[in-house]
Structure 1
Amino acid sequence: MTSTLRRAGGFAAVGTLSLAAPALGAAAAVPFAVIAVLAAFVVDDGPMFELFARPGDHQDGRLNGLAGFTLAATGLALLATAPRLATPPRQAMPTSVFVAAVLILAYGNVGEKAVSERWDDPFAAVAGFTVVGFLAGTLGQFAVQTLTSASVALPTAAFLAATGALVAALLRSVLFERDDPLVMLSVGLLLWFFTQLVLDIAGLDIVLSLAVTVAFGYTAYALGTASVTGMLTGVLLGLLTIVLGGVGWFAVLISFFAIGGLSAKFKYDDKLDRGVAEDNDGARGSGNVLGNAAVALFAVIGFAASSMLAMPESLFLFAFTGSLAAAMSDTLSSEIGGLYDTPRLITTLERVPAGTDGGVTWQGELAGIGGAAVVAVLAFVLLPLGTFGDPLVGAVVVLLGGIGGMTVDSILGATVEGGRIGNQAVNFLATLAGALVSAGLAVVIL
C-alpha cells in the first residue's frame, strides 16, 4: 500500500467521525474542531504526522491538509446544528447532507487512490472516486436515518449522493488536492439546496437516469468528443436535467451534446490545417460544456424551484430550449462555416481570414439556423410548448431564440472577444441571449 493510499485511508477514518453527528447533536462540530487545532498547532512530527502529511506539510511543519479538511467539516457541522439552537430555531442543513458531503469526499479519495495504484488512466481514477463516493454518500444518509427520526427515500438519497459525487469528482479534476475543503463545502451547500426542492423521484427513474447519463458520458469520452472533465460535466448536467426536468428535457440536451460533439469532429483535419479546429482533438472540456450549457442548467433548476420562486414553469422551459437552440446554432455555424473561405465580419461585412472572431459565412449561417431548427422541432415534439398558447408558435419562438443567440455570439466575437473576454464567456452570453429572447417572446407573443 502506497503512502498516498494510506493517507487517503486516514482522512476517510477522520471523515467517518461525521456518523457520530446524530448522537452528538449540538456538539457534532467538536471532534473536527479539535482535530483541526491539533493538526495546525500540535502535531508536527511522529507517525501521525507522517500518515496525514501531504506534500508541503513537512516544509511548513504542520498538517495543512488535515486542518483544512476538518475545518470544512466543522463548518458544515455548524450549519447542521447551530440554526437549530437559535431563538427562534431556523432551518438547518439536514444532518444526512452533512454526513454525505464529508463521506463522499473522504471515501471518494480512497477510491481514486486505490484505482490509481492499479491503472494509470485518468478515466479509471475518476470512475473510482465517483463510484466509491456515491456508495459512501448513500450509505451515510441511511446510517443517519437509522439513528434519527429523519426519513430519506432511497431514490432521493441516491440522487443526492450521485450529484454530490459527480460535483466532487469534477471539482477534484480541475482543482488541487489542497482545495479539498472548498470541494467539501461546495458539495454540502449544493446538496442542501437540492433538499429544499420538491423531489418526487421513483426508484426505477433514478436507476435509468444514472444508467443513461453514464452511458452517454462514457460514449462521448470513448469517441473523443469529450475530455474526462467534459464527460463529468456532461453526465452531471444530464442527471440533473433528467431528474429535475424529465426525459424530454434530457433528449433536447443530449441532442446538443451529440450533434455538437460530432460536428467538431467533422472534417477535423481540414479545420486543423485552416487553424479553426477545436483544441484537444475536438474533445470538449468542462469549460466548453459549461459555457454552452450553464444557462440550460440554471433553467432546469429554476423549473424545479418555480413554486419557491413564484414564477411560471413555462418561462424556464423556454429559457432552457432557447439557450440550447443558441448553443446548437452557434456550434454548427462555427464548425461548418469554418470550412469555407469567404467569411465576412458581421459588424462591417468586410472580408476577413477564416477563423476570425465574428466572421460569418452564408453556409455557416444556414447550418446555424438548421441547428436551431433541430432543437425547436425536438422541443415541439417532446416538451409542452403549448402551455402559453399554440405549440407551433412556441417552436418558432425557440427557433428565433437560437438565431438571436447565434447572432449575439458573432457580434461579441467581432467586438469584445479576444481581450478580457474569452470564447467560453462569449458562449455563455450568447446562450443567455437565446434564453432571454425565447422567454421574452413567449411572454409577449404566446
Structure 2
Amino acid sequence: MTGDVRRAGGYFLVGALSLIAPVLDGATSSRVAAITTVAPFAFVAAVALASTRGPLFELFARDSDREEGRLYGLASFALAVAGLAVLLVGFELPTAAFVASVFVLTTGNLGQMLVATRLVNPFVVVSAFVVSGMAGAIGAIFLAGTLGATTPSLPLATFFAASGALLAALIRSALHVRDDSLVLLSTGLVIWFLLELGLGATTSSTQIAVGLGLTVLLGGLAYGLGTASITGMLTGVLLALFAVVLGGYGWFVLLMTFFGIGGLASKYRYEEKLDRGIAQENEGARDSGNVLANSAVALVAVVAYAGAVHVSMDASVFRFAFAGAVAAALADTLSSEFGGLFDNPRLITTFERVEAGTDGGVTLQGVVAGLVGSGCIAGLGALFFGLAVPGTVTILAAGFVGMTVDSILGATLEGGRLDNQSVNLLATLSAGLVAGAAGLVVL
C-alpha cells in the first residue's frame, strides 16, 4: 500500500468521527451535542499541530507538511469539519448534509488514490473520486439514519451525494487538490441548500436517474471529443444535472444544445482560427471559467425556478430568463466562432474596419450565425416550455440582445476593466433580464 493510500485511509478514519453527530441528533441538549461533536475534531487539530515526527506524522504528512514540519493539512481538515459541526448544532445544518460532505471528501480521496496507483488517465482518476465520494456519501447518509438522524429518500440522497461529489471534484481540480477546508464547507452548504428546497414533492426518482445517466454520458463525450477540459466537463455535468433535476428535461435539452453545438463550433476549422489568432485556448476545450461565464445566469434561473415551485409561486418567468440566457450564450459563441472566419469585420461601436479577432468586431456572417443559434434555442423553448409565438420571439430577441451587448462590451471595456469571461457573464445576464422582463408581459 502506497503512502498516499495510507494517508487517505487515515483521513477516512478521522472523518468517520462525524458519525457521532447522528447518535446525538435530538438525544441530548444542544450544549452537550456541540461539545461532543466539535471536541473530537478540535482535539485532532491540536494533535496535528503538535506533531513534528513519529508514526502519526509519517502517516498524515504531505509534501507541504514535511516542508513546514507540522501536519497543517490534517489540522485544516479537522478544523473544517469542526466548523461544519458548529453549523450543525448551532444553525440547524442537517445531519445528512454534515456527514455527506465529510464522506464525499474522505471516501472520494481514498477511491481516487487507489485508482491512481494503477492508472494515470486524469479523466479516470477524477471519475474515481466522484464515484467513490458519491457512494461514500450515500452510505453515510443512511448509516446516519440507522443511528437516529432524519434522512431523505434514496433517489434524493443519490442526487445530493452526486451534486456534492461533482462540486468537490470541481473545486479540487480548479483550485488545489489539497484545499480540504474549502471542499468541505462548499459541499456541506450546497447539500444543505438542496435539502431545503424540499424536492421530494416535485422530483421523481426516474427524473433523478435519467439526469444522472445523461449527464455522465454527455460529460464523458465532451471530454472524449476534446470540447471540454476536466474542469469544464465537471462544471458542465454539474450544471446539466441541476437543469434536469431542478428544472426538467426541457431545461436539460436547452443547456445541452448550447454545450454541444458551442463545443463543436469551437472545433470547427480550428487550425484556420489558430492562424488568425481567434482560436479557443486549450485546443478548443472549454474550461470551468468559460462554462460558468456562459451558464451561471442559467444556473441561477433554474435554482430560482425550483425555489419558486417549492413555495407555490408562479415560476414561469424563470423559464424565460433561462432560455434567454442560453440563447445569448449560443448566439455569441456561434457569432464568434463562425464570424471570425471571415475577413473585414467592423467594430460595432464605430463601424470602422478592424482585424479579425479584434474585440467588438462583427461580421454579417457572424450575426447571421448568432441569430441561427438564438433561433435554435427559441424553437426548443417553444417545444419544451410551451411558448406561443410572442414568447418564442422574445427568446430570439433576447439572444440577439445578449450577443450585441457582448460585442459592445468587447469594443469598449474588454481588455481593460473586463476580461472575456466577465463580458460573457454580463451578456448572458442582460439577455436573461430582458427575457424575464418581457416574459412578464407575454405570459
TM-score range, shorter chain: over 0.9
Q: Deviation at 1:24?
A: 4.0
2:428 is the alignment partner of 1:426? no
CA distance in 2, matches of 1:207, 1:309: 25
43, 56, 78: which one pairs with 1:34?
A: 43
1:120 maps to which residue? 120
User: Cα deviation per residue 1:20-65 (whole Å; 9 max; x = unaligned)?
Assistant: 212245121221111111112x222100011111112123222100
373, 393, 397: which one pairs with 2:394?
A: 397
Moved more, 2-11 or 195-204: 195-204
2:90 is the alignment partner of 1:82? yes
Q: Deviation at 1:205?
A: 2.3
2:257 is the alignment partner of 1:248? no
Q: Deviation at 1:307?
A: 4.8
Contact 1:217 1:234 in 2 (8 A): yes
User: Cα deviation per residue 1:368-393 (whole Å; 9 max; x = unaligned)?
Assistant: 011000000000001133xxxxx211
User: Cα deviation per residue 1:326-381 (whole Å; 9 max; x = unaligned)?
Assistant: 00100000001000002000000000000000000000000001100000000000
Unaligned runs of 5+ in 2: 26-32
Q: Deviation at 1:251?
A: 0.5
1:347-426 superposed matches below 5 A: 347-385=349-387, 391-426=388-423
1:73 maps to which residue? 81
2:186 maps to which residue? 186
CA distance in 1, matches of 2:432, 2:254: 14
Q: Deviation at 1:149?
A: 5.2
CA distance in 1, matches of 2:311, 2:273: 45
1:388 maps to which residue? none
In structure 2, what residue type is equivalent to 1:258?
G
1:46-445 superposed matches below 5 A: 46-83=54-91, 92-148=92-148, 150-200=150-200, 201-307=203-309, 312-385=314-387, 391-445=388-442
Q: Deviation at 1:308?
A: 6.3
CA distance in 1, matches of 2:76, 2:417: 33
Contact 2:22 2:145 in 1 (8 A): no
Q: Deviation at 1:198?
A: 2.1
1:87 maps to which residue? none
Contact 2:22 2:149 in 1 (8 A): no
Contact 2:199 2:310 in 1 (8 A): no
In structure 2, what residue type is equivalent to 1:159?
F
CA distance in 2, matches of 1:149, 1:130: 24
Give % identity.
53
In structure 1, what residue type is equivalent to 2:423?
V
Q: Deviation at 1:321?
A: 0.3
CA distance in 1, matches of 2:367, 2:423: 18
2:15 maps to which residue? 15
Q: Deviation at 1:207?
A: 1.8
CA RMSD of aligned residues (A): 1.3
> Residue 341 of structure 2: SS of its match in structure 1?
coil
Contact 2:95 2:150 in 1 (8 A): no
Contact 1:103 1:136 in 2 (8 A): yes
User: Cα deviation per residue 1:104-157 (whole Å; 9 max; x = unaligned)?
Assistant: 011111111111111111111101100000000001000111111524200110
The verdict on how the C-alpha distance between 1:120 and 1:151 changes in structure 2, with shifts beyond 3 A counting, is closer
The two structures have a TM-score, normalised by structure 1, of: 0.95
Contact 2:246 2:302 in 1 (8 A): yes
> Residue 353 of structure 2: SS of its match in structure 1?
coil
In structure 2, what residue type is equivalent to 1:50?
E
CA distance in 2, matches of 1:118, 1:4: 13
> Residue 56 of structure 1: SS of its match in structure 2?
helix
Contact 1:271 1:338 in 2 (8 A): yes
Moved more, 1-10 or 392-401: 1-10
CA distance in 2, matches of 1:64, 1:193: 30
CA distance in 1, matches of 2:311, 2:267: 41
Contact 1:198 1:304 in 2 (8 A): no
CA distance in 2, matches of 1:367, 1:23: 60
1:89 maps to which residue? none
CA distance in 1, matches of 2:186, 2:218: 26
2:28 maps to which residue? none
CA distance in 2, matches of 1:312, 1:205: 22
CA distance in 2, matches of 1:239, 1:232: 11
Misfit runs of 4+, over 3 Å: 307-312
In structure 2, what residue type is equivalent to 1:277?
A
Moved more, 266-275 or 332-341: 266-275
51, 59, 63: which one pairs with 1:43?
A: 51
Q: Deviation at 1:278?
A: 0.5
Contact 1:145 1:152 in 2 (8 A): no
Unaligned runs of 5+ in 1: 84-91, 386-390
CA distance in 2, matches of 1:250, 1:149: 33
Contact 1:344 1:351 in 2 (8 A): yes
Moved more, 308-317 or 348-357: 308-317
CA distance in 2, matches of 1:318, 1:57: 51
Q: Deviation at 1:310?
A: 7.8
CA distance in 2, matches of 1:311, 1:153: 25
CA distance in 2, matches of 1:208, 1:311: 26
> Residue 148 of structure 1: SS of its match in structure 2?
coil
User: Cα deviation per residue 1:223-264 (whole Å; 9 max; x = unaligned)?
Assistant: 111111111111101111000000011011100011101111
In structure 2, what residue type is equivalent to 1:131?
V
